[in-house]
Amino acid sequence: MSFSTEERGSPNTDDYRIFFKDADGRYVSPFHDIPIFADEAQNIFHAVVEVPRWTNAKMEIATKDALNPLKQDVKNGKVRYVANVFPHKGYIWNYGAIPQTWEDPRHRDADTGCCGDDDPIDVCDIGDRVCSPGEVIRVKVLGTLALIDEGETDWKVIAINADDPGADRFHDIDDVRRLKPGYLEATLDWFKRYKVPDGKAENQFAFDGHFKDRDFALETVKSTHEFWKALICQKSAAGELNCMNTSVSESPFRCSAEDAAAVVDSACAFGAAEPIPISVDKWFYSNM
């Protein structure tokens, strides 16, 4: 199963959007139409890359917009970039989300004691290749970290691109410790401190910041898929989320291909990129 993207608006501005198309050129939602599984029997999942490794622009699935294109987060009227907190340059993995998952804000997790953050579940691809924004890859789940973000459970799934040359050597979280020493420690440090330059406190974690193993992570991902099923079939309240989709037959939010095309046609025409502010190159230092 293959997907492509179509850019609208001007990169590095608040009107920039990346829309998704299936193999037949029909517009789809990366939140709702891309299947969670690339190979269910092997527990291989799809992942939508929002932010490539080493970059700073905080791109994300626009969960409240029709067709849920990628857009750059906006804060105080300006597009948002994640700071470089020494020694980390931008994001240290290909960062994205697993489609057809949802962290239900009304469900209090028995392990973390906190409710979900109302987003698809996040994924960190530790494979060697730097991906592109909007790329849909196949990943093997290896473990997870439970970030507590402003009182909400925000799972960070650790995975590797299934097409990575070394993917067959990774089966569980301990393989990351053995084969990529220091990477999990850097991951914990990144999530702990990345908001500090914005004047916020360090993030907290469930399980004392310990990474949970593959089996735990698989159950977590699959449970968020069940929450998504309730959402897309209107068995759970969507709130401000936009559930427009083109492929979920049992969903009351399903739309026609023509309606989906109209959404894209209404977006700004693709234009030249605005320059990235020089402030994005600044480095921040804090006690480790």
Give the contacts of 92 (CB within 8 A, at least 6 positions apart): 53, 54, 186, 187, 190
**Tens digit of each residue's pLDDT (9 = 90 or more) over 56-104:** 999 999 999 999 999 999 998 999 999 999 999 999 999 999 999 999 9
CA–CA separation, 286 and 196 (whole Å): 8
pLDDT over threshold 80, residue 185: yes
Angle at 146 between CA 149 and CA 215, to 5 degrees: 155
pLDDT number for residue 135: 98
Q: Span 125-131, mean pLDDT?
A: 97
pLDDT number for residue 20: 98
Q: Span 168-189, mean pLDDT?
A: 98
Q: Span 190-215, mean pLDDT?
A: 95
**Tens digit of each residue's pLDDT (9 = 90 or more) over 30-45:** 999 999 999 999 999 9
CA–CA separation, 34 and 32 (whole Å): 6
CA–CA separation, 81 and 57 (whole Å): 4
Q: Which two tokens stand for residue 2?
A: 């293959």
Instruction: Say how many Å lie between the first and final Cα of the chain, rounded.
Output: 43
pLDDT number for residue 1: 78
Its CATH class, for the domain covering 4-274, is alpha beta
Angle at 53 between CA 51 and CA 57, to 5 degrees: 40
pLDDT over threshold 90, residue 287: no
Query: What is the percent of the chain where pLDDT is above 70?
Result: 100
Q: Considering the chain, what is the average pLDDT of its residues?
A: 97
pLDDT number for residue 10: 98
Give the contacts of 242 (CB within 8 A, at least 6 positions apart): 62, 63, 64, 65, 66, 67, 68
pLDDT number for residue 288: 62
pLDDT number for residue 211: 98
pLDDT number for residue 244: 98
Q: Span 107-135, mean pLDDT?
A: 97
**Tens digit of each residue's pLDDT (9 = 90 or more) over 252-280:** 999 999 999 999 999 999 999 999 999 99
pLDDT number for residue 150: 87
CA–CA separation, 2 and 98 (whole Å): 15
pTM: predicted TM-score of the whole model, two decimal places: 0.97
Q: Span 214-242, mean pLDDT?
A: 98
